[in-house]
Structures are given as structure tokens and as C-alpha cells.
Structure 1
Amino acid sequence: MYKVLPKQTVSMYTRDGVRLDADIYRPDAAENFPVLLMRQPYGRAIASTVVYAHPRWYAAHGYIVVIQDVRGRGTSAGEFKLFAHEIADGEDSIYWAAHLPGSNGKVGMYGFSYQGMTQLYAAAAKPSALKTICPAMIGYDLYTDWAYEGGAFCLQTNIAWAIQLATETARLCNDQPAYQALLTTARNLPVNNPEILQQLAPESFYHEWAAHTQPDTYWEELSPKRHLQAVDLPMFHIGGWFDTYLRGTLNLYKDIAARSITAQHLLVGPWAHLPWGRKVGEVDFGAKAASPVDRMQIRWFDQFLKDIDTGLLQESSICLFEMGSNIWRTFPSLNTANQKSYFLSTTGLASIREDSGILSNASPLKSGNPPTRLAPQNSAPSTQDILVHDPWRPAPSLGGHAGLPAGVFERSHIDCRSDVLTYTTQPLIEDLHLLGDVVVEIDCSADQPSYDLSAVLSQVQPDGKVYNLTQGYIHCPPTTAVPIKIQLQTTCVRIAKGNALRLSLSAACFPAYAMNSGNGAVLNSDDLRNAQVITLTVNCGGDRNSQILIPII
């Protein structure tokens, strides 16, 4: 370990003459070192220490660490425009960092969220000095991986982020009234009304994101995916099972690993967007869930920036935390072809009684009767459940990957609501290990032109407590085909014998996702005023193969 010199604050200038400021942490030694660069918009003193070790720790391991404010943020000059300048500015910053005194000319990048995005944009320019990146919790396709899910606007996370950035913009502009109002709002999240952004941050990216409801050229031009097709760098991909941007992490990994000739490693922990610790929501995943990322990144950078054989290239490229077992497991690939179907059946009272809706791995019965050993006494067979969504009291979001706070929570009080349908298996007779994508297929119809479907997979304990495992959401436009396919968040979990699986369906998951008015998303008070009650009919049993497909290890 090296002693570290006092922090230096230095500036560079981009090709168009904009000053960018950075803090530099150096080992106290005369030799040359590789450079680790983090480019971020939140004030460089923070340096992403909400999830990473302080830059001094990295410097003590023999690296020059540069934490830079992106254009228009912190003390850097210029105008901040979301992602717009990060390719050119990233390329210029890497060239500058590679030529710092004491640099050996090799640059690596690390960081999560926006700091992960700046790595992807910089890599798109293919600067020769950039040898490796460690993108964590990113959007690859910004429409499908970040702003929208299943065509539905991710209301809560988008508003929270927009308010955070707008608050800092107001501070930098010395707009004290806007700053105070936005700061008060930011400290009272979650917020489900975007009108404060319309009033106090009319230039926010939020308004463009909400207006571009389809995956059009706006998203294609903005997304890193478009710019990375010819890039092949060693990448260490980092995600969390309850991170709202896990789709981006996995989509980038799968895409580049399929065509790359350089090392691509993937680590997914039991974490939300932040922090990366042992407790996520109400569940403690144990000491092994604490983040190993800092030590793993040092090994990664030693391998690719110092040419030290760390043994990484001989290890499995995929390391996943299996929740329930609470251990890290390695896998050769993410492909899990062994999907098991659980079919929905009902007595017609799945919105009223928790024992009415049934999940069974037996083929659906042509008569429509649920399996008699599972059905409540004095019940009549049915092939339909009716769900009524009232926009004035929508089914609420709780945890998962899209809610604030994210993670695992006890949700039996939500499953008891009459606007939530529940379908439950018998208690498992042996442990069940899941890895991969959970898919729900629902044969349903509605009395309005458009509707939404929320699907949550949970485990039910013998004491009746219900804890969410993974969930998904879809916006169904008027031309939606049947059955509706809902892609749930990828997961890795062991469900202990004695517990049961439960699928919960609702027509809202608010405010995690914008509600559906019956004609489209509710994004302001006028939309809410025109929102309609939606009656949803779910068909199951008989020849209606409504089912959930679960990836079994």
C-alpha cells in the first residue's frame, strides 16, 4: 500500500474550450501509475462514496485517481445537458488523464448510474488510452432500460432523479426560491406529482422523456447502445437484483459478451441502486451480501492496467448472489432453458379470498375446475376473475426494483386488497432454485381502450407473511395481443421448502409507474381528472393457458 499525497484540484479544457475541474489523488511515489477516471454530475467531493471506497483507498493501491465534474455541474464550466456532451468530453478527458504527470498512459474508468453512463459514452469514442471500464447500474437502451418498462413510464424513479438534478441546477444558478422549493421536495420523496418540475424546472430532461412515449429516434440517438456496436473493451459489469436499471446492465453484458473477444465479467448482488449492503428493504441477506466491488475492481484494474496476472481470466465470468441461500455462486452463462410452467386457476374470488386463486404446475383442466385438493370448501368452479381498478385508490407500489425505497418488503396487506388478484401454490416439498427471467402470460381483456398490468412474484411463508421476489409491469395499448406477456426482473433466489409461490396481479403499481387513465398514462392532474375506472377480466383454467414461467436451476 502507498501513502497518498494531499488532494489536488486541477482543470482541463475540452476541444470547444470549456473548463472541466477535477480532484486528483496520487500515490506518494516517484514511479508512473495507471489512471482511474470517474466523471460525475453530483459534485466531485462525493466521488460515489455512497457505494465505493474513497478515492484515497484506490490511490493507496497504486493508482492516480481522477474525480471530474462533468460539463455544467460542480465547479465545471459550460451548460449541463443530460448525456449530450459525454462522448466528446469523455474522449478529451481520457486523453488529458493519460498525459498527466506520473501517468503510465493507461486509463480505466469506474462508477455507477450516471458515472456508469459516462464510461459507456467515453468508450464509444474508442480513445486509445482507455483500456478497460467497470460500468455499474446503467441504461444500455435508455427507453427500455431506464425511462420506460414494458412501455410504461417509470414515474417514481424518473421524478426523483429529475428533482435531484433540478435542485442542483437551481443552486448553481443561484435561484434561491426554486432551490428551496425543490430541496424541500427532494427531502420528502417519494413524490408522485410532476407539476413541481413543470413550474420550477421547465428545462428538465423529464419533460422530453415523458413526451417521447415510444422507442423513437430520440431514444436511439441518446442511448449508448447505438454508439457501442464497434467497441470491444474488457468490461466488469455490476448490477443489483433490485436496481431499477438491472435491465441495462444485463442487456449490455449479453450483447457485448456475445461478440467480444475481450474479457466480460458480470457481478450481480442483492442490492437496490444504493446502498450496496446486506439489508435491502426489510430483509437482511447476511454478511456475505456486503459489497465486494472495491476489492474486485482493484483485481480487475491490476489485470488490465498493470498487466498483473491476477487469475481473473481463469475464473468463471459470472458471479451472482443467490438470495435465500445468501451466498455468491458462479455460473458459466446466463442461459437457463429449464422453464417450469405454473398455471392459474380460480373459483372466481381471487380478488377477495387468498385461497381462491391457485398456481399449479399441472396442466390446466379442460373443465375449468381448479385442483380439488387446493380449492376452498363450498367453492364453485370458474374460469374468470374480475378486477376493478379505481384511479382514486390505485394498487400501491412497495419495494421491488421500481419503487422508492426499493427492495424486499412484507406485502400481505397489499395482497388483501380487492383490486389485487392472488394465485398461490401449495407449500413446496423441496427447495426451489431460480435463476433467470420470470415471464407471466395472462389471457385478459378490459372495458377501456388501454390498461396496465402489474405482476409480482412473492414467496409466502408458513406464518402467512409475504415477501416480494421479483416483479414486472406492462402498458397495454388498444391493439395489445392476447395473452399479455409481462417480463419480470431477472432474479436468482432459493425458495425454501415449506414456503409457497404467489403471483399477484393488479392494474396499477403506483407511484412506481404512471397510472393508466384508460387511454394512456396519467402524468398530471388533468390526466387524472379524465381517468376512468377499468374493469379487467382475467381468464384462466380450461383452455385459457394463463401461466407464469419460472426459470429453475
Structure 2
Amino acid sequence: MLPVRPRETASMFTRDGIQLDADVYRPAVDGSYPVLLMRQPYGRSIASTVVYAHPSWYAAQGYIVVIQDVRGRGTSKGSFYPFRHEAEDGFDSVNWAATLPGSNGSVGMYGFSYQGMTQLYAASTRPVALKTLCPAMMPYDLYADAAYQGGAFQFQGNLSWALQLETEGARLRGDANAYQALFKASRNLPLYDPIPVKPGVLQQYAPQSYYFDWLEHSEPDEYWQKLSPHLDAVDLPMLHIGGWFDSYLTGNLRLYKEMLARSQNPQHLIIGPWPHIPWGRKVGALDFGPAAVNPIDRLQVRWFDQFLKGKDTGILEEPPVQLFEMGSNQWRGLETWPTPQPQSFYLHSSGLAALSEAEGSLKPERPAEKQSDTFVHDPWRPVPALGGHLAYPPGPQERSALDCRTDVLTYTTPPLESDWILAGELSLELYAEADSPSFDLCAVISEVKPNGQVYTLTQGYRRVQNAQPDTPITLDCQPTCIRISRGHALRLSLSAACFPAYPVNTGTGSPVREERWIEARILTLTLHSGGDTGSRLLLPLAEMCSEGL
């Protein structure tokens, strides 16, 4: 490792004259070095150290590291609107970073979440100096991967982020009253205003917030097309980094698959058992062991050494897909993303799956006779969010008490006769109806241990409009990779709410931005299976090779 100079501050000007400020870390040894650029909106001193090593560590590996405040954040000038200026500003910033004293003219970018997105916007403008990216845990398609899932607004996550950004915006403006009100709301989310998704504190203190635009555009319209990055003409080597319990995993995979399908450059993918933050061995209620300790900093340095310094690090000889297999708690090296033939497990029930876990089951054969389970969703006591990729705290949580509720249907396999490995995408086809024009469906897939404990593996959500009992409803779950041991079981839990991860569906069929608590009605839902209506869970049962990371 090289000695590192004290942090410097440097400024640049965008094409429209806006000053952007950055911290620069550089080796204290004369020479010519590649540049690593991170562009972020949270105050550059943080430098994403919630998941990465400090920039000085990267500088000690022989890089000039630039951590820049995006437009309108930190000490950078201009007005901030999430993602709106990151393409042009990213292009200007890459070109500026490439010409810093001591730079060899080659730039790589790293960062997660918003900092992952700024990489994509910069790459979309194709600056010549930009040679490689390491995008981590970012949404990519802002509508489908961040704002809405299955047509349902991601309430808790989006509101939390809006309050975080607007609180910091108030601080930068010196508005103490707005800061205190928004800060207080961020620590105790305002979930029960007349229109739940439009809390009064945001309307009063941040009426200009992008958050209201996200609510207004509840369909994937032109607004989202313009706001999301477009990489059709981009071909760069990328190291894609994700987590099984990260809320943006679908975005990671969307980008990886798109690039892999057309790129002439290496595309590597690594997914750990982590939530959005932190990246460690203990996630939710489980400890995934020493192999789950964050390896990303050393991996990124190997990647940058390969593509920015021309070193043969051996990384291109390793399997390009590295997945952490939960359960066995080890890394699996694969040549491609797993796409096993989905295997169907049909829902069987006596009609009492809401009352007892012994009354609903999952079996490979379709029920010969039509079966139905009817349950009631009461907005006064909606099924709460617990664990998974959107609730706080995220990750695998013990949910046996939730499964005892009478507004949760449960379907469980018999104890497994051999180990199962699930690897890839999971989905459901459900035949359901309700006594209202609109209802929600939440699906949670869990592992049932022999002692009766139940731990969340993955989940999915769907807002349903005008369902027909003879037409299947498709519901996609978060991808996963897990080994379920012999003697354990797999469970599907279905409900009509997951609050406050998603807003409670009032049943009116109105857009979410107009739904009021006072309109929320009790809903009766019926799930059909058997006969011509074979409600089923589609599982990616796979066999995987044994190479480690």
C-alpha cells in the first residue's frame, strides 16, 4: 500500500456554469494514476463508507479517488432534483477528473444506490475517458425498480428517502423550521395523514419535492422514460453488485442481463446475502457465517487493476457469476445466471388455510377438484411488513406469529426428503377475486425449520385491478439463492397487505395519490385452486457447481 496525501478539495464547472465540489485523495508518491470517481448526494465526506472502505484506502492501492457532491448537494451549487442532471453533469465530471494533475487519463466509477445510478448516467453520454463501472444496488428502471413494484407504490422506502433528501435540502437552505419538522418526521414516519402517501409535513415544508411527481406518474409513462438512464449505445466492462435482500435487486439484474445480451466486454455479477446496508454476515435474524463478510472492496480493486492498470489479476479466469448460497452459507461460482426450468407446486387447501397451517399445502400435482380459501382484509389492522427486501429492518425475520393471523393464507410443503436448492426467479400464478374493484396481493416465501420457526426468504407484491376469477394473476418475487435442508419445509404466505412497505389498498380503484384512509373498506378475498384454476408457485429448483468465490 502507498502512503496517501491529506484530503484535498477541488472544484469544476459544468457546461452551464454550475460549480461542483469534490474531495480528492491521491497517493503521496509521484506518478501517473487512474482515477476512481464517485458522484453522490449525501455529503461527500460520507463517501459511501456505510458499505465501502474509506477513499483513502483506495488511494493507497494506487488510485486518485474523487468523491463529488452532485448538483445542489453538499457544497456544490445549483438546484437538486434526483437524477435529472446526472447525465450531462456526469459527462463533464468524468472529463474533468481525467485531466486532474497526476491522472493517466483513465477513469473508473464505483458506488451503490444513487452513486450506482450516477455511473449509469455518466456512461450513457459515452465519455472517452470512462473505461469501466462497478454499479451496485441501484434501480436502473426508476419506475419498475424503485417507485412502484407490481403497480404498487413502495411507500415506506420512498417516503423515507424523500424525507432524508428534503431534510438535508432544508439544512442547506438554512431553514431551521423545515429542517426540524422534516427531521422529526423522518424518525417517526407520518403514515396516517388523510391521504396516507401525501403527508402534510412534506406538503408544508417541501411542496416542490420530486416525491409528488413520483406519485403523480403512477404508470410507466414518458416522465419515467426521460428520467431513467439509457445505455443502448454503451459497452463497458462492468462489475454488477447486488444483495438478496436489497430493494433494488431487480434493477441490478435488469442491467446485468441487458448488458450481457449485447456487450463485447466482460460483465461479472456478484450477489451476497445482504440488504441495502450494511453488507455483513448478520442479516435480519440470521448469521450467514464468515463467508458473508463484505469482500467487495478487494474485489473492486482487482477489477479496476484489470481494466484501468492493465494488470492480469486472474479475475477474468474466474466464473463471471458469484452467488452466495444461503443455507449452506457459501459462494457458488457459475458461468451464467441460473435459469432452471420452473417447477410447479400447486396450492391445496381444505378451505381453512387462513385458520391453520395444517390446512394448506404445496404439492407438485394440481388438485383435481376446485378449492377455495376466503379471508377478510381489514384496513384497521393490516398485515404488517416484516423483513424481506422492503421492510425495516430488512432480511430474514421470524414470522410464525404473522402466519397465525386469520388474514394470512399459508401453504406449506411436507418436510423435504432431500436438500433443495432454489436459484433464480420465483413467481406465482394465482386465481383470485374480491368484492371490490381493486385489491393487493402480498406473497412471502419462507423456510420452515423443524422447530417451527419460520424465516422469510423472499417476497413479491402486486396491485390488482378488476380481476377476473378465470384469469390468472402473475406475481413475481425477488430472486433468491438458498439451500433448504432435508427435514425443513417451504411455505407460501398470502395476504392483502404489507403495511407500511406498501400503502393499504382502500379497494376503491382510485390512484394511490388520491386514496384516503376514510375510504378504506373491509375487503373479502377468495383464492381459487384446483380444476381449471390451478393456482401455483413456480420454483427455480436447481443444481449448482461447487466453486467458491
| Counterpart residue number, 2:325 | 322
| Counterpart residue number, 2:480 | 491
State the distance in 2 between where 1:323 and 1:44 align: 34
- Please say if residues 237 and 253 of structure 1, whose CA atoms lie closer than 8 Å, have aligned partners that are also in contact: yes
State the distance in 1 between where 2:440 and 2:265 align: 41
| Counterpart residue number, 1:396 | 384
- Of 336, 350, 354 in structure 2, the residue corresponding to residue 351 of structure 1 is 354
- Please say if residues 140 and 223 of structure 1, whose CA atoms lie closer than 8 Å, have aligned partners that are also in contact: yes
How far off is 1:191 after superposition?
5.2
- Of 253, 266, 272 in structure 2, the residue corresponding to residue 250 of structure 1 is 253
- Please say if residues 340 and 424 of structure 2, whose CA atoms lie closer than 8 Å, have aligned partners that are also in contact: no
- Please say if residues 117 and 135 of structure 2, whose CA atoms lie closer than 8 Å, have aligned partners that are also in contact: yes
Counterpart check, 1:341 vs 2:329: no
How far off is 1:366 after superposition?
1.7
State the distance in 1 between where 2:390 and 2:341 align: 27
- Of 394, 402, 405 in structure 2, the residue corresponding to residue 406 of structure 1 is 394
| Counterpart residue number, 2:210 | 205
Query: Secondary structure at 2:184's aligned position in 1?
Result: helix
State the distance in 1 between where 2:122 and 2:423 align: 32
Q: Deviations over 1:502-537 (max 9, x none)?
A: 100001111111221112468579611111211111
Counterpart check, 1:304 vs 2:298: no
How far off is 1:189 after superposition?
5.1
| Counterpart residue number, 1:366 | 368
Counterpart check, 1:15 vs 2:7: no
Q: Deviations over 1:348-372 (max 9, x none)?
A: 11111111111112x223245xxxx
- Please say if residues 336 and 552 of structure 1, whose CA atoms lie closer than 8 Å, have aligned partners that are also in contact: no
- Of 407, 411, 417 in structure 2, the residue corresponding to residue 419 of structure 1 is 407
| Counterpart residue number, 2:53 | 53
State the distance in 2 between where 1:258 and 1:523 align: 36
| Counterpart residue number, 1:437 | 425
The TM-score normalised by the length of structure 1 is 0.95
With over 3 angstroms needed to count, the CA separation of the structure-2 counterparts of 1:528 and 1:17, relative to structure 1, is same
Equivalent residue letter for 1:254:
K
- Of 285, 288, 293 in structure 2, the residue corresponding to residue 290 of structure 1 is 293
Stretch moving more, 180-189 or 461-470: 180-189
With over 3 angstroms needed to count, the CA separation of the structure-2 counterparts of 1:239 and 1:403, relative to structure 1, is same
- Please say if residues 522 and 528 of structure 1, whose CA atoms lie closer than 8 Å, have aligned partners that are also in contact: no
Stretch moving more, 248-257 or 438-447: 438-447
How far off is 1:541 after superposition?
2.6
State the distance in 1 between where 2:217 and 2:351 align: 39
Query: Secondary structure at 1:132's aligned position in 2?
Result: strand
- Please say if residues 157 and 512 of structure 1, whose CA atoms lie closer than 8 Å, have aligned partners that are also in contact: yes
| Counterpart residue number, 1:221 | 226
The TM-score normalised by the length of structure 2 is 0.96
Q: Deviations over 1:283-329 (max 9, x none)?
A: 11111111110000000000000000111222211001000010011
Q: Deviations over 1:98-135 (max 9, x none)?
A: 00000000000000000001000000000000000101
| Counterpart residue number, 1:375 | none
State the distance in 1 between where 2:321 and 2:384 align: 34
State the distance in 2 between where 1:132 and 1:310 align: 15
- Please say if residues 166 and 206 of structure 2, whose CA atoms lie closer than 8 Å, have aligned partners that are also in contact: yes
- Please say if residues 339 and 552 of structure 1, whose CA atoms lie closer than 8 Å, have aligned partners that are also in contact: yes
State the distance in 1 between where 2:338 and 2:522 align: 41
Q: Deviations over 1:121-160 (max 9, x none)?
A: 0000000000001010111211111111011100010001
Query: Secondary structure at 1:490's aligned position in 2?
Result: strand
- Please say if residues 458 and 470 of structure 1, whose CA atoms lie closer than 8 Å, have aligned partners that are also in contact: yes
- Please say if residues 391 and 531 of structure 1, whose CA atoms lie closer than 8 Å, have aligned partners that are also in contact: yes
Equivalent residue letter for 1:101:
P
- Of 255, 261, 264 in structure 2, the residue corresponding to residue 261 of structure 1 is 264
Identity of aligned residues (%): 59
Equivalent residue letter for 2:248:
Y
State the distance in 2 between where 1:34 and 1:243 align: 30
Q: Deviations over 1:249-269 (max 9, x none)?
A: 000000111100001000100
Equivalent residue letter for 1:414:
L
Equivalent residue letter for 1:41:
P
- Of 495, 504, 512 in structure 1, the residue corresponding to residue 501 of structure 2 is 512
| Counterpart residue number, 1:146 | 146
Equivalent residue letter for 2:123:
A
- Of 467, 471, 478 in structure 2, the residue corresponding to residue 482 of structure 1 is 471
Counterpart check, 1:91 vs 2:91: yes
Equivalent residue letter for 1:72:
G
With over 3 angstroms needed to count, the CA separation of the structure-2 counterparts of 1:327 and 1:191, relative to structure 1, is farther
Stretch moving more, 162-171 or 472-481: 472-481
Query: Secondary structure at 1:49's aligned position in 2?
Result: coil
How many residues align? The count is 536
- Of 449, 453, 456 in structure 1, the residue corresponding to residue 441 of structure 2 is 453
State the distance in 2 between where 1:59 and 1:305 align: 14
| Counterpart residue number, 1:531 | 520
Query: Secondary structure at 1:443's aligned position in 2?
Result: strand
Counterpart check, 1:112 vs 2:112: yes
- Which runs of no fewer than 5 residues in structure 2 stay unpaired? 543-549
Query: Secondary structure at 2:525's aligned position in 1?
Result: strand
| Counterpart residue number, 2:546 | none
| Counterpart residue number, 2:24 | 24
- Please say if residues 351 and 372 of structure 2, whose CA atoms lie closer than 8 Å, have aligned partners that are also in contact: yes
Query: Secondary structure at 2:105's aligned position in 1?
Result: strand
Counterpart check, 1:547 vs 2:536: yes
Alignment of 1:170-209 (within 5 A): 170-188=170-188, 193=196, 194-195=198-199, 196-209=201-214
State the distance in 2 between where 1:535 and 1:37 align: 53
How far off is 1:479 after superposition?
5.6
With over 3 angstroms needed to count, the CA separation of the structure-2 counterparts of 1:239 and 1:434, relative to structure 1, is same
How far off is 1:336 after superposition?
1.6
- Please say if residues 521 and 527 of structure 1, whose CA atoms lie closer than 8 Å, have aligned partners that are also in contact: no
How far off is 1:184 after superposition?
1.7
State the distance in 2 between where 1:199 and 1:11 align: 34
- Which runs of no fewer than 5 residues in structure 1 stay unpaired? 369-382
Equivalent residue letter for 1:175:
D
Query: Secondary structure at 2:109's aligned position in 1?
Result: strand
- Please say if residues 218 and 511 of structure 2, whose CA atoms lie closer than 8 Å, have aligned partners that are also in contact: no
How far off is 1:542 after superposition?
3.3
Kindly report the root-mean-square deviation, in angstroms, between the aligned alpha carbons of the 2 structures: 1.4
State the distance in 1 between where 2:503 and 2:256 align: 29
Equivalent residue letter for 2:117:
M
